[in-house]
Structure 1
């Protein structure tokens, strides 16, 4: 694939997946695939600018209301949009409304950039994915249709067997590990036409599965630290992102803090 080094700016729009959870840095902040991608694009293009508007817990309606117009006004070369999956994981979900809002977002973002990148989000293998699979696949089919109509690029992470591997998911079972985020960054990098650095979809080395005791300990830890707080937020109508600002709200020159 021919190197494409003419992208000089990137704006990332979305929820916790794009904010970078659970790729935690020593200072407690999150990095994630979008930051990793920006660092690589900046190295290929002097003067590169980057904004990340994503906030954890946001539903597609909030993304449209709070992020889409801001991103469009920045007129960047590349916009990434990942949203709607939080909606599909709610007990009650109006998929017609979700599809309509996603279409509204794409219609507003596509004309404002050179390249709009959409994603079929990865899914962790297990009972949660099986339960919500029909909604997710309805969302992803709509994403494919929107991409065709608006000339967007779709990165198919859902179809990746490697990214479904439970070892690439954090203990909360909702967010990727640092290695998972690195693989997503590589997938988007390649989708933008840059030369591959490695095979982001390569399977992890085979290992013996955890024994019964280790699985039960992991289940108990998950329920205590993540499932119970998630249920409380759903019952009280709160979100993990309430009151949090975007991690990088302005489209500014990017200096890699990880270099």
Structure 2
């Protein structure tokens, strides 16, 4: 059965930090949009970088390509494997490959992860500058490729401790729910439908 919603990315997409019965923001978003069970494909993998998405997830997402595709990846690049040119190239490649006629692609910027606040000052400043740079890359790439962007980096609500799990790296169940709800609103606005019903049902 062809999926109606496919998501790619890292542990955030995979659903880490959420209640296992809820399935992370992908499953929560599918429910909000009325996507029937069994028609969601989550390719997210713990520890994935943008390079992993290029090498291991992108081709799979194009098989029986869903009309709605979400991406959330990059934090692992920024905190452990950052090479600016490669990051920019990968973001452009992923979004450019996924975008196309009859396809709605969506992604998000990177929020202020609480764990960063506990880093030594010099490294905290370095990682913070990487997040700022990466968010500018994502904003520019989404504009070029017609990809919907949820700019959570500019949403102060993501500073709320309840949105984060105990490891301060992954969203809590409340964080996954909040992300799904905001993304549903963004998609609904783009589609001209209610956030809880509409074109994605079936």
TM-score (norm 2): 0.83
| Root-mean-square deviation (Å) | 2.4
Aligned residue number for residue 167 of structure 2: 172
Choose the corresponding residue for 1:114, options 100, 103, 111. 103
Q: SS of the residue aligned with 1:111?
A: coil
CA–CA distance in structure 1, aligned partners of residues 171 and 181 of structure 2: 14
CA–CA distance in structure 1, aligned partners of residues 145 and 87 of structure 2: 18
Q: Would you say the 8 A contact 1:73–1:112 is kept in 2?
A: no
* Aligned positions of 1:77-92 closer than 5 A: 77-90=67-80
Aligned residue number for residue 3 of structure 1: none
Aligned residue number for residue 191 of structure 1: 186
User: After superposition, what is the alpha-carbon deviation per residue over 1:153-175, rounded to whole angstroms, capped at 9, x for unaligned?
Assistant: 00011111111222321111100
CA–CA distance in structure 2, aligned partners of residues 53 and 113 of structure 1: 21
Q: Would you say the 8 A contact 2:32–2:195 is kept in 1?
A: no
CA–CA distance in structure 2, aligned partners of residues 106 and 46 of structure 1: 25
1:151 partnered with 2:146: yes
Choose the corresponding residue for 1:98, options 57, 78, 87. 87
Aligned residue number for residue 132 of structure 1: 127
Q: SS of the residue aligned with 1:21?
A: coil
User: After superposition, what is the alpha-carbon deviation per residue over 1:68-122, rounded to whole angstroms, capped at 9, x for unaligned?
Assistant: 11112222111001112111001x5211111111111111111275211011022
TM-score (norm 1): 0.66
Q: Would you say the 8 A contact 1:36–1:185 is kept in 2?
A: yes
Q: Would you say the 8 A contact 1:69–1:108 is kept in 2?
A: no
Q: Considering fraction of residues, name the structure with more helix.
A: 2
| CA drift at 1:25 | 2.6
5+ unaligned residues in a row in structure 2: which ranges? Answer: none
CA–CA distance in structure 2, aligned partners of residues 113 and 154 of structure 1: 17
5+ unaligned residues in a row in structure 1: which ranges? Answer: 1-7, 198-252, 255-259
Which protein has the larger Cα radius of gyration, Structure 1 or Structure 2? 1
How many residues align structurally? 186
